Amino acid sequence: MERKIRKVRGTDAVALQANALHQDFLAAARRTLQIGVKIGGLLALKKEGLAHGEWLPWCAANLAFGARTATNYMRLWSHRAELKSAKVADLAGAYRYLEAEGSSRRTALVPARAIAADDRLIATLRPALAKMSLMHRLRFAARIAAGG
């Protein structure tokens, strides 16, 4: 989902900075989804290489997040083509898309009410997020993705 950059008239420093930060925020959201897909690919490869019953112990011993979050990342990986063709641009959009697609298969990634709560939280925190560094925004998005 490409966003068109509107032309801004004038040289108001606050507007220029706010618009630049807004573009950074949108880029960070897209990058967060890309990172989530990559994590899912790594984890899917690792899981394939483990014997039956070794996955959960490996997750507990090696990951800074739980097996459920690992499964969410792997779902992003396994549905990456669908997400790309649907032009999903961010992690929240990916969760909504997979939840809607999964409802008929009964494999929802995140309950819709949790996504709505996350969307409300992000809307409330958006001014504070604009002041955060890119790394902090990515960490914040990762915590939301992990359900924490």
Confidence band for 57, pLDDT divided at 50, 70 and 90 = very high
What pLDDT, on the 0 to 100 scale, is given for residue 22? 86
Confidence band for 144, pLDDT divided at 50, 70 and 90 = low
pTM over 0.85: no
pLDDT tens for each residue of 24-50: 888 887 888 889 999 999 999 999 999
Distances (CA, A) of 84 to 10, 28, 90, 117, 142: 36, 17, 11, 25, 20
